[in-house]
Structure 1
Amino acid sequence: MNNEFEIELQDTEWQFSYIDHDREIVRAIVIDNNENYYFVRVQRDDDFGKVTLIETAGGGVEPNENLEDAIRRELKEELGAEVDILSKIGVVSDYYNLIHRHNLNNYYLCRVKFFGDKNMTQTEIDDFHLSTLKLRYEEAVDEYKKYSNSRLGKLIANREIPILMRAKKMIVENHIF
């Protein structure tokens, strides 16, 4: 079930000046056996502005951590989910010009085994106010579109809607449900 694809996106919301660092990131489209999808709602007030967003669970890969260990750790932290990794979906290379960063987002399709306690960082709790969203596919697409009215929301929607669509296609083609 491995038909990875790659997307390269530019930041058209903030003017480019320079990029001074790269960040390797893992993210997941998380599903359960009832065709529900799990995301995080983010409420932030920082350099990007005061915004509420939907985003896939995930985050930065730690030094000497492999990608699959990183996605399992991130999903446990943010969703409290233990998962089976079904497949790598692909990689999205994008930029946050405002903070001079290139993001290398590695996306996975994961199925929930069970939910337990979350283990969020203090930043995720205090600065991003992360909460779990359980949505049907169509609801998730609508949420991304709804929050793409902000500059950051538009960047995230441009990155994640194609991944969500690709995940749905993989689920159908591989008869996951």
Structure 2
Amino acid sequence: MKRGILSPVTVAVLTCLVLVVMLPEVWSKRYMVGGNQGWSANVNYTLWARNITFYTEDWLFFVYDRYQMDVLEVNRTNYETCNAEHPMHNYTTGAGRDVVALNVTRNYYFISSKGFCYSGMKLAVHVVKTPPPPKASPEKSDSPSRIFNLRSQIVFPTVLAMAAVWDSLLRI
């Protein structure tokens, strides 16, 4: 029997890592600020954010011209007056691709300095607590248990997929 490129233990560990990395995607969302227009002048960010409910664990993704603009978090007063002198946080990394984690339930205020705030480059978002997962429907007394449903929908297919990969590696 030939040994595969990856040991079965390595495959199992990699599979678990992939699952752990994918799980946050179930609950959180990443929003590209401004949609296709990104973080740029003359975009109405109030309209863009109006129909979005931002939850803790969501992310804001700012895409902009790194040579001209920046992303500053300020307080409400400085947001309203476009004052960038004392930001609470400067998220500008220099790449023009900045990500902000919304980890706390509160109001967040972002502006771009260098005069761009005056042309509309400012965003206010209200972040609320992530809602609990939807409740399962009431079960009948003769229905399978909730644990069995979880296993049949998630655990069993994952184990079967890992077993198939393991088996194919052992046959190499």
TM-score range, shorter chain: under 0.3
Answer with 1 or 2: which has the greater Rg. Answer: 2
Larger relative contact order (CA 8 Å, sep ≥ 6): 1
Q: Which has the higher strand share?
A: 1
Q: TM-score, normalised by structure 1?
A: 0.24
Q: TM-score, normalised by structure 2?
A: 0.24
